[in-house]
Structure 1
């Protein structure tokens, strides 16, 4: 029987993060969604306005016997720049912030440890701004956002941003792919 756990992560546009995690061995599913806002059941348009307080997130359902939470976080940190406050590349606004929304105290502790390790190793020239917050007010995004990259190969954003990021990711994590 699988040891299913969840991780809820924000690292810019959810299309990039979701596509990567859905290709990893041990990940049962990854869904685009919204978390940590102050209104119920927000729409994409509301979240994009920056007025709801939500972040674009990916909820990763994983088998902890196959892939550890630490591994999930290490992959997460490889997929975005955790030193950019309220942005990733050209995507700007608090909805694109870097955040780990923990589900229990163990996840919180591990997230804080990994951020400390990244800081100590000086992997980035600037400080890590990833927030570590208990998951709250989570909503799965609209159906058309799920598997967006796979279902919209003609989309210009996917071709210019998601595809190169995913190609680099797959090269770096080839041994972990499904």
Structure 2
């Protein structure tokens, strides 16, 4: 019997993170969105990209815990973006692109702390991933959902997302759908 759970993480542009987790076995659904801001109402992409709302671009991953664990989700997340750059991923700069794990309870927080500690040895610089209690999650506009699969011909997809997916397919071949 399926045991569906959710994990919410941000590792720069949500298009990249969404594309990665759409390929992982046990992941039922990935929704791009915004979390962690401090302005009222449902933020828009334009508002979040301004950097003024405090929201991060995130993905909310619905996964089957009988197939993949929260720890495995976080390990994949931490090793498929650069968790050592503050408010920056590649050419994307601003607090909306910060590396963040939103946990739902103390158990998830402890797992996240352990994963960060374990993967630190693979990075030369200190990991700066923010750990925060899960705030309200806002789904992004429809145009941002399943972005990579709907826009593979676009330059950003070709030059940024496709190489990340190649890395995922190599590192995590045993975890692919």
Asked if the contact 2:51–2:96 (Cα under 8 Å) also holds between the matched residues in 1, the reply is yes
TM-score by length of 1: 0.96
The match for 1:10 is 10
Q: Which ranges of 4 or more aligned residues in structure 1 deviate by more than 3 Å? A: none
Counterparts of 1:111 and 1:173, CA distance in 2: 19
TM-score by length of 2: 0.97
Asked if the contact 2:18–2:31 (Cα under 8 Å) also holds between the matched residues in 1, the reply is yes
Note the 1:5-84 alignment, pairs <5 A: 5-39=5-39, 40-84=41-85
Counterparts of 1:14 and 1:93, CA distance in 2: 14
Q: CA deviation at 1:79?
A: 1.1
Asked if the contact 2:86–2:128 (Cα under 8 Å) also holds between the matched residues in 1, the reply is yes
Asked if the contact 1:20–1:166 (Cα under 8 Å) also holds between the matched residues in 2, the reply is yes
- Once the two structures are superposed, what CA deviation does each residue of 1:77-109 show, in whole Å capped at 9, x if it has no partner? 111010000000110000000000001111111
Q: Is residue 168 of structure 2 the alignment partner of residue 169 of structure 1?
A: yes
The match for 1:147 is 146
- Once the two structures are superposed, what CA deviation does each residue of 1:93-152 show, in whole Å capped at 9, x if it has no partner? 000000000011111110011112233xx2111110001101102101011101100001
Counterparts of 1:146 and 1:62, CA distance in 2: 17
- Structure 2 unaligned spans of 5+: none
Aligned residue pair count: 176
Asked if the contact 1:38–1:137 (Cα under 8 Å) also holds between the matched residues in 2, the reply is no
Matched position secondary structure for 1:23: coil
Q: Aligned-residue CA RMSD in angstroms?
A: 0.9
